[in-house]
Amino acid sequence: MRLLIVGGVAGGASAAARARRLSEDAEIIIFERGEHVSFANCGLPYHIGGVIKERGKLLVQTPDSLYRRFRIQTKVKTEVVKINRDQKTIIVRDLISGQEIKESYDFLILSPGADPIKPPMPGLDLPQVMTLRNLSDMDQIKLKVDQNEAKKVIVVGGGYIGLEMTEALRERGVDVIVIELSDQVMGPADPEMAYYLHQELKKHDVDLRFGVSVKGFYPKGEGVTAELSNGETVDCDAVVLAIGVKPEASLAKEAGLEIGQRGGIVTNEQMRTNDPAIFAVGDAVEVDEFVTGLKALIPLAGPANRQGRIAADNIFGRKSIYKKTQGTAICKLFDLAIGMTGVNEKILKRMNRTYEKVYIHSNNHANYYPGATQISMKLLFDPKSGKILGAQAVGKDGVDKRIDVLAVALRAGMNVYDLENLELCYAPPYGSAKDPVNFLGFVASNVLKGDVVNCHCSDLASLKSDQVILDVRTVQEAQAGMVPGAVNIPIDHLRDQMTQLSKDKEYIAYCQVGLRGYLACRILTQKGFKCRNLSGGYLTYKASRGI
């Protein structure tokens, strides 16, 4: 059997290695347009920032290492320019010599990845305007920083790459301006969760520009001027475009393979295209989103690796299927991390799908053990079944653990009641007897059981005349800032001052994080009062308002 693979890195290299483990006799060849066949592209910003000192650490495999261990042939700086499906051949161009040759295949795997989005605008060809996709891009950016030629940099886009590059550049002492068209960074997160990232960026003196885009770049001396959509101009030494990526599907499209509405290559659950001899994996393919089942483009290394393995399995007669993509991911930003799995509230709103949500703000480990820090978490779930739909978390430590647990729970089809009963690791340095994941289950279950009626920050904008906001924090906390119009009765005085309240009113109770507000509602409802708890308390209120 002759197996040809177009593209290396996560999907292609994983497919090749799995294919060899399944067959010692197959001829396996990888064609890679770039200089490196398998590198840690997720590590590129960290070499620029100086965290990963040695460039060679980013090289996962080389042509020599792939051949020595797996007898896989690798041809770098070689571009596949055409697929002849009827002949089962490809046309390959040597990018150094320009020579083109024909290669035959029994099976073909496409793993071309994704290209950085470059909107049509003046100045994209300027040497100061760069993207970060491969090691050559990384070298170009790092050289400018090393030679002190990039004292002020514009980062266009506030997604994963944009944030990681912002951190890397600030760690090197570079002034950074982030230009983001939307009103938040980290688009997969909901706005009130992205708020914490905004605070962290401001803490590290990053200039955030929301609601504007770049119309063009123009040379100015050794640097460049960016013209913004609001009429402003910004001078800088260099630009990093991090607007996002799009599937590199042109080769597949020209070959007549099916392309989806999102622009990615269409495959079945075996990663097979509409041509039985051609498979596709990685960032170039459309996937089924796990919760909604909708087609999506979710460029992540983990799914690409699994897809490569699955494609190889099916080529060699092992029935293997890809079981959709959850979008589980995490991003480090200075001292914070943000993680997520499943869908966000924005998607659920667009789908007009009913859902409920809760927030908690818990410490990452036992309060009495030194070094405890807060994790802010959001859980989205079905209001009838309690089935988990998505989760987000922001904090200094322990975010990855909690999101990983919730990712497994989501894939396993668990509901919020199951979260209550999860038995998780506990010792004071690592967690609490009631882990934050358990707490999410407790809070969500209380809502479903009717033990408390939730109120959300958006509800406060349309209060009725018979509704009163009740702050049950201490007087000192209330004096430091409170929801406008609220009445302050500390929780410990509530029973004694209940005569001040009217059963003709409905009370919206809140505290700092939600726990005392819940306790206030339990007290009041059992005494015949109407009460709702502001989920997430004052901290979530501030985040939702951007205070």
pLDDT above 90: residue 196:
yes
Q: What average pLDDT does the chain have?
A: 96
Q: What is the mean pLDDT of residues 96-100?
A: 96
pLDDT tens-digit profile of 470-527?
Answer: 999 999 999 999 999 999 999 999 999 999 999 999 999 999 999 999 999 999 999 9
pLDDT (0 to 100) of residue 120: 92
State how far the Cα of 389 lies from the Cα of 326, in Å rounded to an integer: 10
Query: What residues have CB less than 8 Å from 61, skipping those under 6 apart?
Result: 8, 13, 37, 38
- Please confirm, yes or no, whether 42 is among the known catalytic residues: yes
Q: Tokens 């949500």: give the residue.
A: 357
Query: What residues have CB less than 8 Å from 520, skipping those under 6 apart?
Result: 470, 472, 491, 494, 507, 509, 511, 531, 533
pLDDT tens-digit profile of 133-169?
Answer: 999 999 999 999 999 999 999 999 999 999 999 999 9
Joined tokens for residue 476: 């000192």
pLDDT above 90: residue 60:
no
Query: Which element (helix H / strand E) includes 251?
Result: helix 250-254
pLDDT tens-digit profile of 297-356?
Answer: 999 999 999 999 999 999 999 999 999 999 999 999 999 999 999 999 999 999 999 999
pLDDT tens-digit profile of 257-270?
Answer: 999 999 999 999 99
- Please report which residue ranges of 316-356 form alpha helices under DSSP H: 345-350
pLDDT (0 to 100) of residue 279: 98
Q: Which DSSP state fits 428?
A: T
Q: How far is CA 204 from CA 166, 175, 296, 331, 394, in A?
A: 10, 10, 34, 16, 17
pLDDT (0 to 100) of residue 407: 98
pLDDT (0 to 100) of residue 537: 97
Res. 52 pLDDT band, cuts 50 70 90:
very high
Amino acid identity for residue 252 in this structure: A
Long-range contacts of 323-326 (CB under 8 A, 24+ apart): 323/269, 323/290, 323/411, 324/287, 324/288, 324/289, 324/290, 324/293, 325/287, 325/288, 325/289, 325/290, 325/296, 325/298, 325/300, 326/289, 326/290, 326/291, 326/407, 326/410, 326/411
Res. 547 pLDDT band, cuts 50 70 90:
confident
Q: What is the mean pLDDT of residues 122-131?
A: 95
Percent of the chain residues past pLDDT 70, beyond the cut: 100
pLDDT (0 to 100) of residue 55: 94
The sheet with strand 454-455 has its strands ordered as 454-455, 530-534, 506-510, 467-471, 487-488
Res. 31 pLDDT band, cuts 50 70 90:
very high
CA of residue 153 relative to chain centroid, distance: 23
pLDDT above 90: residue 295:
yes
pLDDT (0 to 100) of residue 8: 85
0.85 cut: is pTM over it? yes
- Please report which residue ranges of 103-218 form alpha helices under DSSP H: 135-146, 160-171, 191-203
